[in-house]
Amino acid sequence: KKETGKAVVRNKIKRTLKEANRPLNKKLLPGYDIIVLAKNNIREANYFEICYDLESLFYKGRLFL
């Protein structure tokens, strides 16, 4: 039986980040390119924790309308 590879985990994290950003994207100020760098402990985070963290970072950076 094959093990789940690193690429599978990495792609799951990418999909989760994209979905978490989708509703927030409408509230962001135009003219910004945002790069999100994920740390290792994101593997244990669920969708709602990622949404909360992204939203709090965007508020902290004053990127919302």
Query: Which pLDDT does position 1 carry in this prediction?
Result: 55
Q: How far apart (Å, rounded) are the C-alpha atoms in residues 5 and 3?
A: 6
Q: What are phi and psi of 46, to 5 degrees?
A: -95, 180
Report helix, strand or coil for 1.
coil
> What are 22-48's pLDDT values in tens digits?
999 999 999 999 999 888 889 899 999
Range(s) of the domain holding residue 52 = 6-60
Residue 5 binned pLDDT confidence (cut-offs 50, 70, 90): confident
In a domain, 19, yes or no: yes
In a domain, 1, yes or no: no
Specify burial of residue 36 (Cβ count, 10 A radius: 0-12, 13-18, 19+).
Answer: middle
> What are 47-64's pLDDT values in tens digits?
999 999 999 999 999 999
Q: What is the mean pLDDT of residues 1-27?
A: 87
Instruction: Indicate the number of domains in the chain.
Output: 1
In a domain, 65, yes or no: no
0.75 exceeded by the pTM?
yes
In a domain, 31, yes or no: yes
